[in-house]
Structure 1
Amino acid sequence: MRVLIVDDSPVLRLLLRTVLESEGFEVREAGSGEQALRLLEGYKPDIITMDVHMPGMDGYEATACILERHALPVVIVTASADAYAAATAMHALEAGALAVLDKPVGPDAENFEHLVAELLRTLRRMAEVKIVRRPRTIRGHAVAPFKAPVSSGSPRLVAIAASAGGPAALKSMLAGLAANQPWPLLLAQHIAVGFLGSFRDWLVTACKLPVNIAEHGQALLPGTLYLAPDGRHMGISNDLRVRLQPRNSELYCPSADHLFRSVAERLRSEAIGIQLSGMGRDGAEGLAELHRTGALTIAQEPASALIDAMPLAAINLQAARQVLPPAAIAALLNTIASRSAACNTLPKGE
């Protein structure tokens, strides 16, 4: 596998090169975003590792240019403890980077072996992704005809799942949501440990809703977005409180399947489930359970997803009542919210 390392630190480039070549990877280096773009005119790696805190063109700008010109998979490798770098990494995810990882800083570091193992696993998985440059404009924003849940009751909660490519979809969807959502929104997003705080801060800038990292036992409030914390699966209790469980041997944590199944068990048709961009199948089975209870289930339109595996898995299981691009998902939620508000203000007997 061919890897291009983009990092302004010669020491870090040497460290990453040594690690990757010991695993049989073919490695080339670039000390800046500008140099990376020049190299890519005559060299096509399978994947690119990108630092973000570099002089001149930073990692966000370099990622955006690479995806626009070359359509190659990019993984951000940076320091989660550096607030500027972590914030820039979120913008790179928005631009289309597939993942963000904490940078291994040296063999003497306590978590070095864990970070290296995660880096190798991620590079091998993400190198398989075929990046296709698609128009980012959505063909209109018309909402597909609303297929009402079996229950006549109004939804009480929205559960959302996303993985690689999810941040771009989330920004498009959340930016279109009205501030007065009459339900709490719960999000299971696969993201590397250490970056959740920066991800939350980035989401705050992308939507009109308060964004909180969920705490066990807290009451869920309408119009608020809750994120599953690092290393915990998120579900709900019968009285709409957060239930967190530690990770066991699951591949993904937080698990989208866990979230959807918890919501299906307790709210049945009084919920909305949304499956966005990502690799793998996490969430497909859980969304199917929600569908069977009569809930409104939505999958992102595959053509609008940076990585279409997760929404396609749900669609192939016939788990999605609606298949929509992110902006249209927001429009549908706003429509349902308006209908719910109108029903709640009708005089009794109407």
Structure 2
Amino acid sequence: MRVLIVDDSPILRLLLRSVMESAGLQVREAENGEQALSVLATYTPDIVTMDVHMPGMNGYETTARILERYALPVVILTSSSNANDASSAMRALEVGALAVLEKPAGPHCANFEQQVNELLRTLLNLAQVKIVRRPYAQKSAAPRALPSKHQLHPAQPRLVAIAASAGGPAALKTLLHELAPAQPWPLLLAQHISAGFLDSFRDWLASLSAMPVHLATNDQEFCPGALYLAPEAHHLGVDADLRARLERGNHNTPFCPSANHLFTSVAQSLGSRAIAIQLSGMGRDGAEGLAELNRQGALTIAQEPASAVIDAMPLAAINLQAAKLVLAPEAIAALLNTLASRGTSSSNLPGGEKSC
């Protein structure tokens, strides 16, 4: 496997090269964004690691330039303790970088081996992923003939559950930007994100919309018009009273928070009275849970694979016939806005839920 390391620190490049070559990877280096683009003109790696702060083009700008020209997976390496770095890393995820990881600090650090193992595992997994890069020539339209609310959804929805993994932030940016902030239901999100970056991810999501974004706490009531994330190392669920049910992750589930856990919890608690959305990501997490929601009569949606950075998660749901609709992110937002405007308000939600 071939890797291009982009970092302005010669010490960090030397460390990364040593770690990667010890694992049998082939390595090229670039000390800034301009040099990275020059290297890529004649060299095709399987994956790119990207620093955030560099002279000239920063990591966000370099990632955007690379993804405009090449279908290459990009992994951001930064320091989770540096708020500016973490914020820039979120912007790189927004344009299509697949993951953000903390830089290995060096052999003197107690968690160095864990950081190295996570880095190598991430590189090996993401280097095999097919990247779908098709910039929108024009925005996808909402469904031409939108079915009646009853046809789409036999019972009034009480909650929207969203799942995403690698490539998900790019879809979430479009979805949240297009979504009317006064949604008459709470939104729950299971997004795979590396440890240490959840606060920055929450702040980035909040910057995309007027909708408030919260880290859920156990047993809290989910409020209409707000977006909720699982706290770090926890799975997110809900009960029939729209209260949070958190469970600590364990080794039995490869992803935390788990999309399947979220969707299955929503299916068990709300049945048909929910909307569930499967966005970009690798693997199959969420497909079985979305299928269960579909069987319960919920409105289930998969992202149009051609619009996803990574189409594996949406395709897994589509192949299971778990999705009633297959839409690009802006069309998903248009549909939610239309359903929200059809007489649904916090005063007439089933069960009498009020704004909180």
Report the TM range for the smaller structure's normalisation.
over 0.9
**Alpha-carbon spacing, 1:151–1:84, altered in 2? closer, same or farther (3 Å):** closer
The one-letter amino acid paired with 2:239 is S
Rounded to whole Å, the distance in 2 between the matches of 1:189 and 1:166 is: 7
**Alpha-carbon spacing, 1:138–1:216, altered in 2? closer, same or farther (3 Å):** farther
Paired position in structure 2 for 1:64: 64
The one-letter amino acid paired with 2:198 is L
Residue 261 of structure 1, aligned match among 247, 260, 264: 264
Alignment of 1:194-233 (within 5 A): 194-233=196-235
Residue 236 of structure 2, aligned match among 230, 234, 237: 234
Does 2:147 correspond to 1:146?
Answer: yes
Paired position in structure 1 for 2:41: 41
Paired position in structure 1 for 2:119: 119
Rounded to whole Å, the distance in 2 between the matches of 1:217 and 1:113 is: 36
Runs of 5+ unmatched residues, structure 1: 346-350
Q: Is the 8 A contact 1:177 1:208 kept in 2?
A: no
Shift of 1:343: 11
Shift of 1:339: 1.2
**Alpha-carbon spacing, 1:319–1:135, altered in 2? closer, same or farther (3 Å):** same
Query: 3-state DSSP class of the match of 1:291?
Result: helix
Paired position in structure 2 for 1:284: 287
Shift of 1:149: 6.3
Q: Is the 8 A contact 2:139 2:330 kept in 1?
A: no
The one-letter amino acid paired with 2:134 is R
Shift of 1:132: 4.0
Residue 167 of structure 1, aligned match among 166, 169, 182: 169
Alignment of 1:322-341 (within 5 A): 322-341=325-344
Shift of 1:238: 2.3
Rounded to whole Å, the distance in 1 between the matches of 2:92 and 2:36 is: 16
Deviates more, 1:194-203 or 1:68-77: 68-77
Rounded to whole Å, the distance in 2 between the matches of 1:13 and 1:243 is: 43
Paired position in structure 2 for 1:88: 88
Query: 3-state DSSP class of the match of 1:182?
Result: coil
Query: 3-state DSSP class of the match of 1:273?
Result: strand
Paired position in structure 2 for 1:101: 101
Deviation string, structure 1 residues 35-84 (Cα, Å, up to 9, x no partner): 11111111111110001111211000000111112221111111111111
Q: Is the 8 A contact 1:154 1:340 kept in 2?
A: no
Paired position in structure 1 for 2:352: none
Runs of 5+ unmatched residues, structure 2: 349-356
TM-score normalised per structure 2: 0.94
Rounded to whole Å, the distance in 2 between the matches of 1:106 and 1:229 is: 28
Deviation string, structure 1 residues 212-257 (Cα, Å, up to 9, x no partner): 1111111111000001111100101221111110111111000000
Deviation string, structure 1 residues 82-110 (Cα, Å, up to 9, x no partner): 11111011110111111111111111212
Deviation string, structure 1 residues 167-225 (Cα, Å, up to 9, x no partner): 01001011111111010000000010111111111111111200011111111110000
Rounded to whole Å, the distance in 1 between the matches of 2:285 and 2:275 is: 17
Rounded to whole Å, the distance in 2 between the matches of 1:215 and 1:141 is: 37
Over aligned residue pairs, what C-alpha RMSD do you find?
1.6
Deviation string, structure 1 residues 263-298 (Cα, Å, up to 9, x no partner): 000000110000000000000000001001100000
Paired position in structure 2 for 1:302: 305
Paired position in structure 2 for 1:184: 186
Rounded to whole Å, the distance in 2 between the matches of 1:310 and 1:149 is: 26
Paired position in structure 2 for 1:272: 275
Rounded to whole Å, the distance in 1 between the matches of 2:129 and 2:108 is: 33
The one-letter amino acid paired with 1:330 is A
Paired position in structure 2 for 1:348: none
TM-score normalised per structure 1: 0.95
**Alpha-carbon spacing, 1:169–1:41, altered in 2? closer, same or farther (3 Å):** same
Q: Is the 8 A contact 1:79 1:102 kept in 2?
A: yes
**Alpha-carbon spacing, 1:266–1:132, altered in 2? closer, same or farther (3 Å):** closer
Rounded to whole Å, the distance in 2 between the matches of 1:293 and 1:340 is: 23
Rounded to whole Å, the distance in 2 between the matches of 1:119 and 1:11 is: 17
Q: Is the 8 A contact 1:63 1:97 kept in 2?
A: yes
Q: Is the 8 A contact 1:141 1:328 kept in 2?
A: yes
Rounded to whole Å, the distance in 1 between the matches of 2:198 and 2:54 is: 22
Q: Is the 8 A contact 2:142 2:332 kept in 1?
A: no
